[in-house]
């Protein structure tokens, strides 16, 4: 999308102001990834580059200087290539379309970069994100050094541009939140559609497979303009739900089992990330409902803990408390072995059934950038011994939540067959995942067009 949307120029200006005097920032977009022979994977721009340009063509670079000037290098117009690969914006149209000050063909990168770097002190670029970028920059710096004898100054410092961009991206602006809310609505609709298809096919006596439900998700994503799934969709029937990184495959979806779907679309560069777990036929059994309601209650505790001023780890701690009490009550954790809730939490007895974190930042990337440690408290290290592995773990104070941060809230419970778990719960895997934006007073859930209440799920699956 080539738009001269205000956020990009304003973001570039903010970055430029943070570079310090006599500095240059270099941001390449992502390379095209070959799939096999002469087929490429669908192209996905680099998130940092897109954040600063809104430009989604491959083979492009942005150069920012501390005085606020921006230079784009992009693919030149080329009728022959455009007939095969599609229209290119081209350097002549780029300044008007993208608001950059200058634009050149990417073929001029190696000749122009040394000149842009000459007489500056600091080069900023994203560290460890683009294969070969460091050596490319080295090459340009060598050319600058070759001119030192003629009075040129060469930069003497390199800094990680991610440090600036990660902090900016962590707090979403109004433009981003608008897209994220729309992405969330599309994904929620896709989950509803998959639930309804599951029940309808089973009612009709058809052979339902995981891929049938994945097809519903993809249909709904594309139907509403999403470019692609934000990550590989998980559609897990029955026991497959206990495999955390399972993908949609061909397993049969059986009457009486649960289905776990973790899927979200990407819309205009922003991810959504929803998990719903529902009975394949539209009716929870008693044991399924007991575990489902426990996970839902633990999620509500996490939602209540998601507010400005709280720590990133507070929702997780709230979840663990509710889940662990429920595990004790339902006999998943042995009360005789782990007497109290405090004991069971301290010994991490819950870890047998709940082994992942309750959330992550969400934004352009599904696991979005941004430090999970509070920047001002980075030096405060405390040590503890992990009760399960015996390892010494160093903790730093967790990030303090602020309005505009976006994160997922996704507790789960996964019961593999074992002599420690009551048999009625074997092979049940449940996760409920919503996307939240921290507000001035709490958080806004943007994914609740897909219901989580078990009665509401049963109602919409009745058809
Ligand atoms: N779908 C990836 C995640 O939930 O983190
Ligand atoms: Mn997630
Ligand atoms: Mn997910």
Please say whether the dihedral angle defined by the alpha carbons of residues 234, 240, 244 and 249, taken in this order, is positive or negative.
negative
Residues 6+ positions from 187 with CB-CB distance below 8 Å: 221, 263, 264, 265, 272, 273, 274, 447, 450
Q: What percent of the chain has pLDDT over 90?
A: 97
Ligand 2 centroid from CA 410, angstroms? 7
Question: Has 45 been annotated as catalytic?
Answer: no
Residue 423 burial class via C-beta count within 10 angstroms: exposed 0-12, middle 13-18, buried 19 and up: exposed
pLDDT at 3: 45
Question: Has 367 been annotated as catalytic?
Answer: yes
pLDDT in tens, 31-65: 999 999 999 999 999 999 999 999 999 999 999 99
Residue tagged active-site, from 214, 431, 434, 458:
431
Q: What is the pTM for the complete model shown? A: 0.96
pLDDT at 248: 85
pLDDT in tens, 161-199: 999 999 999 999 999 999 999 999 999 999 999 999 999
pLDDT at 2: 41
**Bridging pattern class, strands 443-445 and 434-438:** antiparallel
Question: Has 273 been annotated as catalytic?
Answer: yes
Ligand 3 centroid from CA 383, angstroms? 30
Question: Has 316 been annotated as catalytic?
Answer: no
273 lines ligand 1 (CB under 6 A): yes
Residue 347 contacts residue 387 (beta carbons within 8 Å) = yes
Tell which atom from ligand 1 comes closest to the C-alpha of 234. 1
Tell which atom from ligand 1 comes closest to the C-alpha of 263. 1
Residue nearest ligand 1's atom 4 by CA: 273
Question: Has 216 been annotated as catalytic?
Answer: no
Residue 401 contacts residue 350 (beta carbons within 8 Å) = no
262 lines ligand 1 (CB under 6 A): yes
231 lines ligand 1 (CB under 6 A): yes
pLDDT at 6: 77
pLDDT at 5: 54
Residue tagged active-site, from 81, 115, 367, 462:
367
Region of 131 (left: φ > 0; alpha: ψ -120 to 50; beta: rest) is: beta
Q: How far apart are CA 50 and CA 365, in angstroms?
A: 12
* Weakly modelled stretches of the chain, pLDDT under 50: 1-4
Q: At what angle do helices 454-461 and 174-203 cross, to 10 degrees?
A: 60
Region of 356 (left: φ > 0; alpha: ψ -120 to 50; beta: rest) is: beta
Question: Has 356 been annotated as catalytic?
Answer: yes
Taking alpha carbons only, the member of 292, 187, 308, 199 closest to residue 241 is 292
């Amino acid at each position: 999308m080539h738009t001269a949307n205000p956020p990009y120029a304003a973001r570039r200006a903010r970055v430029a102001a943070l570079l310090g005097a006599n500095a240059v920032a270099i941001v390449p977009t992502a390379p095209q990834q070959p799939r096999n022979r002469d087929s490429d994977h669908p192209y996905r721009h680099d998130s940092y580059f897109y954040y600063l340009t809104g430009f989604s063509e491959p083979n492009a670079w942005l150069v920012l200087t501390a005085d606020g000037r921006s230079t784009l290098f992009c693919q030149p117009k080329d009728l022959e290539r455009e007939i095969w690969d599609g229209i290119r914006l081209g350097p002549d149209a780029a300044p008007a379309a993208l608001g950059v000050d200058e634009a050149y063909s990417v073929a001029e990168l190696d000749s122009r970069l040394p000149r842009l770097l000459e007489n500056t002190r600091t080069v900023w670029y994203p560290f460890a994100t683009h294969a070969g970028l460091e050596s490319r920059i080295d090459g340009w710096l060598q050319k600058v050094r070759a001119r030192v004898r003629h009075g040129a100054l060469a930069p003497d410092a390199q800094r990680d541009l991610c440090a600036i961009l990660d902090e900016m991206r962590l707090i979403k602006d109004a433009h981003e939140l608008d897209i994220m809310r729309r992405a969330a609505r599309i994904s929620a609709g896709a989950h509803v559609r998959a639930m309804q298809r599951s029940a309808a096919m089973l009612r009709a006596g058809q052979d339902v497979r995981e891929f049938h439900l994945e097809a519903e998700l993809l249909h709904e994503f594309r139907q509403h303009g999403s470019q692609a799934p934000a990550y590989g969709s998980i559609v897990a029937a029955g026991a497959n739900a206990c495999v955390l990184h399972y993908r949609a495959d061909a397993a049969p979806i059986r009457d009486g089992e649960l289905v776990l779907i973790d899927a979200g679309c990407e819309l205009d560069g922003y991810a959504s990330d929803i998990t719903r777990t529902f009975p394949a036929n539209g009716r929870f059994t008693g044991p399924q409902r007991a575990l489902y309601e426990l996970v839902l209650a633990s999620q509500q505790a996490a939602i209540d803990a998601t507010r400005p001023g709280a720590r990133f780890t507070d929702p997780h701690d709230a979840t663990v408390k509710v889940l662990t009490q429920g595990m004790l009550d339902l006999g998943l954790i042995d009360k005789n072995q782990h007497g109290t809730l405090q004991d069971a939490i301290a010994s991490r007895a819950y870890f047998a059934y709940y082994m992942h974190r309750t959330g992550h930042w969400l934004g352009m990337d599904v696991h979005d950038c941004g430090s999970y440690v509070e920047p001002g408290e980075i030096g405060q290290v405390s040590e503890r011994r992990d009760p399960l592995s015996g390892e010494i773990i160093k903790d730093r104070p967790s990030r303090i939540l602020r309005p505009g941060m976006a994160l997922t809230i996704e507790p789960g419970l996964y019961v593999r067959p074992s002599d420690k778990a009551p048999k009625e719960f074997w092979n049940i895997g449940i996760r409920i995942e919503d996307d939240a934006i921290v507000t001035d007073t709490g958080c806004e859930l943007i994914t609740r067009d897909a219901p989580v209440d078990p009665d509401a799920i049963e109602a919409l699956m009745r058809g």
